[in-house]
Structure 1
Amino acid sequence: MKKWRDINLVGLTEKIVSMCAVSIGRAGAASRVGHELKRLRIISGLSQAQVAEAMNEECVVISKIEDGGEIYLSTIERYVTALGASLRLNAHFSADAPINARLHDKHFFYEKSGNSQLVFSLMEEEKFEKHRDVVLSIKPIYSEKILSGRKTVELRRRFPVEVPNGIVAYIYSSAPVKAIVGTVLIRGVVKLPVEKIWDEFKHLAFIERHMFDKYFEGVDQGYALFFGDVKSFTRPLPLSELRERFGFEPPQSFLYAKHDLRKALQDEPAIVSY
């Protein structure tokens, strides 16, 4: 089967967003989506039989979809995947929306589009921003073990999987320490079922079972970050100084390090203990 990546969905995403997130019940709306899907299939050079085979469905199901029958968002995603594409579903906010002021303390991935909008991906796996280091917020009980070299795996509910090897993570030790205390290199990230994470990494992550269950409550899968090349700061940078010099606010989970913060840390080698 001929494969295409990231086919232009010709306005399909915007139409889906305006409809019900679970089911497209209005006949007119479903008909428009079915028409767009059919148009994409034809552009892709695929027959209904080929799409049906890729979706493990009968041809009659594909016909109903394209003729405007009731269609679910999950079905649209499967159909688009069968074309060799990916379905992108985003929430768009104006750049001056109230959410903008709240982003500093929320763990959410977003980008700024060319028309001064904030764009949040609702379906795709998070992508790691290239050439960016990160600040990880970690409780002191765990940050101490990381800096001592004992804790080599950090667990997260959400994190980009495709992290380039060797990305620097600045360790922000949360209350009561409230300071950036050192750095580690992120050697890799894996996404696994929560129970598999417990079985494989409970000792390396230094976490007790009840705390593990509480942290991952409500999710089926989690992320394990592998650390290496630990460096402790001889002079931790306290939150008060970080706020004054860089406008820094500690994240709940992680954030991308601003350029001026990264440059300051790189230009002040005296604070790093080798």
Structure 2
Amino acid sequence: MTRLSGKIVETRGAEIGESELALGKRLRGLRTFAELTQADLAKRLGISQAALSKLEGRTDIHVSKVREYVEALGAQLHIGATFSSASEIGFRVLSAFDAEALDENQLVLPIYGDDAFRKHRDVVLSIKPQYSSKILTGEKTVELRRRFPLKVPKGTLAFIYSTTPDKALVGCAEIAAVTKERVPTIWRNLRDEACIEKADFDAYFDNQDHGFVLRFSKAKAFQNSIDLNELRSRFDFEAPQSFLYAKPLLREALRHELSELSDRY
């Protein structure tokens, strides 16, 4: 993925012939999109037009050369590896790094670029209303998940999306810790804090040996919940099946809401 003058241009491989996958050809397409001639770009790169023409005809190009090329276009080079979130390696990626979720089934781990290992971002958790209300009153202090990253930086917030029929962001809690434990141990030690019935617990962790425990602190309800229609129109938001990383604009708005709460109380 290349970011160019505020626009995002994606170059993706497909099940096509090698000639159509020629990296030089794709770079030439970016140059054309940027409305630069070979002479223009060759001057920026400090090489001859003939050398640039040869580069754009190659199928194999060093990453350093690709970076120089796209930076001369005024862009930034980012390289990522896409994993299935259901695969074992995808789960390890999710647990270890701040992987970007393309959707519920795919994760992208950035492997090249200034933001390859980004600082943490807050998360949005989808939680049923009977549980979300208990989190905000402090009765429920742990949330159980089949999968969740273990390495959560201190101060990470879980914004709580209360599912049907609420369909709204209703509050947040700080994630104090995340642990991975055997399912029987979770039930034995944490069933009261999780506020869950045995039948629901067994159904959720069916065929799972281990589960993840999110321990909450400092839970707060928003003064005004934000419903799904508003979330979609303002933040291009879609409710996750489990969780997602909060987009910067949404995160800023929600933290502003928290700041206003702190000022009032």
Normalised TM-score (structure 2):
0.57
The reply on whether 1:167 has 2:165 as its aligned counterpart is no
Q: Are residues 91 and 234 of structure 1, via their aligned partners in 2, closer, same or farther at CA, if it must alter by over 3 Å?
A: closer
C-alpha distance after superposition, 1:156-181 (max 9, x if no partner): 00001111122111000001000000
TM alignment of 1:233-248, pairs within 5 A: 233-248=222-237
Inter-partner Cα distance in structure 2 for 1:215 and 1:132: 27
Could you say which residue in structure 2 is the equivalent of 1:97? none
Which of the residues 110, 114, 131 maps onto 2:108? 110
State whether residues 160 and 172 of structure 2, in contact with CA within 8 Å, keep that contact through their aligned partners in structure 1.
Answer: yes
Unpaired runs of 5+ in structure 2? 1-80, 85-100
State whether residues 172 and 179 of structure 1, in contact with CA within 8 Å, keep that contact through their aligned partners in structure 2.
Answer: yes
State whether residues 235 and 271 of structure 1, in contact with CA within 8 Å, keep that contact through their aligned partners in structure 2.
Answer: no
TM alignment of 1:93-242, pairs within 5 A: 103-104=102-103, 106=104, 109-114=107-112, 130-242=119-231
State whether residues 107 and 251 of structure 1, in contact with CA within 8 Å, keep that contact through their aligned partners in structure 2.
Answer: no
Which of the residues 219, 242, 247 maps onto 1:253? 242
Shift of 1:112: 4.2
Could you say which residue in structure 1 is the equivalent of 2:8? none
CA RMSD, Structure 1 to Structure 2 (Å): 2.4
Inter-partner Cα distance in structure 2 for 1:107 and 1:163: 21
Could you say which residue in structure 2 is the equivalent of 1:85? none
C-alpha distance after superposition, 1:239-273 (max 9, x if no partner): 00000000000001100000000111223444677
Q: Are residues 242 and 91 of structure 1, via their aligned partners in 2, closer, same or farther at CA, if it must alter by over 3 Å?
A: closer
- Amino acid of the structure 2 residue aligned with 1:150: E
Inter-partner Cα distance in structure 2 for 1:246 and 1:158: 25
TM alignment of 1:85-96, pairs within 5 A: none
State whether residues 234 and 270 of structure 1, in contact with CA within 8 Å, keep that contact through their aligned partners in structure 2.
Answer: no
Give the count of matched residue pairs.
164
Normalised TM-score (structure 1):
0.55
Sequence identity percentage: 50
State whether residues 102 and 108 of structure 2, in contact with CA within 8 Å, keep that contact through their aligned partners in structure 1.
Answer: no
Unpaired runs of 5+ in structure 1? 1-89, 94-101, 116-127
